[in-house]
Amino acid sequence: MTTERYERGWEKLMEVDGSGGAKVIESLQDISPDLGQFVIEFAFGDIYSREGLDLKQRQLITISSLTTLGGCEPQLTVHINAALNVGLSPKEIVEAILHCTPYAGFPRVLNATFAAKEVFKERGLTVHPNIDPQEA
């Protein structure tokens, strides 16, 4: 039985993560389907569906949080893809990760940067670092 909360969460999950989100939920079906339901209902039905922040802001916060936690590279990969899906640029994503350096340290930021690099490569995207046109 699906509830309104579940339906709202599923719609938001598809809006943000698309097929990547569906794959995560599907991967839980044989071991912890309840966890998948919690992700849909709580994370996306309750939290992502709240007013006050747009999806770009939410993804910047999520990327920053996962970077700072460290050891969350699989989830970070999903959310970097989600950030691109909701309209963030590769440069904005890299800046969000870089901004975590004084708070999380170089190892975590390096790991997050390499995760972003892989996502950008898979999607055929490049980041154009700040280049002084006078030096180019």
| pLDDT tops 50 at residue 136 | no
Give the residue-averaged pLDDT of 62-66.
Answer: 98
3 state DSSP class of 54: coil
CA distance 59 to 48: 10
In this prediction, residue 127 carries a pLDDT of 87
- How far is the CA of 134 from the CAs of 91, 130, 131, in angstroms? 21, 12, 9
Give the residue-averaged pLDDT of 71-87.
Answer: 97
Torsions phi, psi for 47 (to 5 deg):
-75, -55
Higher pLDDT, 127 or 6: 6
CA distance 60 to 36: 23
Contact by Cβ (8 Å): 97, 113: yes
In this prediction, residue 73 carries a pLDDT of 97
The token duo for 99 is 């901004």
Write out pLDDT tens, residues 44-54.
Answer: 999 999 999 99
Give the residue-averaged pLDDT of 14-37.
Answer: 96
Give the residue-averaged pLDDT of 51-74.
Answer: 98
Domains of the chain: 1-50 (no CATH), 53-125 (1.20.1290.10)
- pLDDT, averaged across the chain: 94
pTM: 0.89
Would you say the C-alpha torsion 42, 47, 48, 50 has a positive or negative sign?
positive
Nearest to 127 by CA among 86, 88, 89, 84: 89
